[in-house]
């Protein structure tokens, strides 16, 4: 007899050996599953809204335009030829209002000699006032 609450040993509790082949197959399955998740799962959009009046607008040597915006959501932003731009075009002068979406860091080459680079946030889409 066994004590109350004690577990009895049976056929299902036999120790099973895990072969190397089974381990390799499990690893391949996990890597394949990870590949599917990384490449076919929807990516999280990293864009965030911005907007404000430009206090500084500077053309860059790398075919971009640097714009420093004031409130409500301002800071340094960089327009590029890849930016989806609406009716009144890219930033052109101080005093212009910009509104749109921005995503990651970018840079503006202001001068070649000496090399001067201003960092900013890349503008993905924007509209502006005249």
pLDDT tens digit sequence for 25-67: 777 766 666 655 555 554 555 789 999 999 999 999 999 999 9
Q: Is residue 69 part of a domain?
A: yes
pLDDT category of residue 12 using cuts at 50, 70 and 90: low
In this structure, are 35 and 55 located in the same domain?
no
Kind and range of the H or E run holding 38: helix 20-40
In this structure, are 86 and 124 located in the same domain?
yes
Residue 26, judged by CB atoms within 10 A of its CB (0-12, 13-18, 19+), counts as exposed
Q: Show Cβ contacts of residue 116 under 8 Å, excluding neighbours closer than 6 positions.
A: 109, 110
In this structure, are 24 and 84 located in the same domain?
no
User: What global pTM score does this model have?
Assistant: 0.65
Place of tokens 């327009």: 79
Q: Which residue(s) pair with 79 in the sheet?
A: 65
3-state secondary structure of 13: helix
């Amino acid at each position: 007899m066994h004590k109350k609450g004690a577990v009895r040993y049976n056929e299902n509790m036999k120790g099973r050996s895990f072969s190397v082949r089974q381990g390799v197959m499990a690893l391949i399955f996990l890597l394949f599953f990870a590949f599917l998740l990384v490449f076919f799962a929807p990516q999280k959009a990293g864009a965030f809204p911005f907007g404000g009046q430009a206090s500084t607008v500077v053309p860059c040597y790398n075919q971009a335009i640097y714009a420093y915006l004031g409130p409500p959501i301002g800071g340094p932003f960089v327009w590029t030829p890849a930016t989806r731009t609406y009716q009144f075009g890219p930033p052109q002068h101080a005093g212009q209002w910009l509104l749109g979406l921005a995503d990651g860091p970018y840079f503006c080459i202001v001068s070649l000699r000496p090399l001067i680079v201003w960092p900013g946030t890349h503008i993905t889409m924007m509209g502006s006032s005249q």
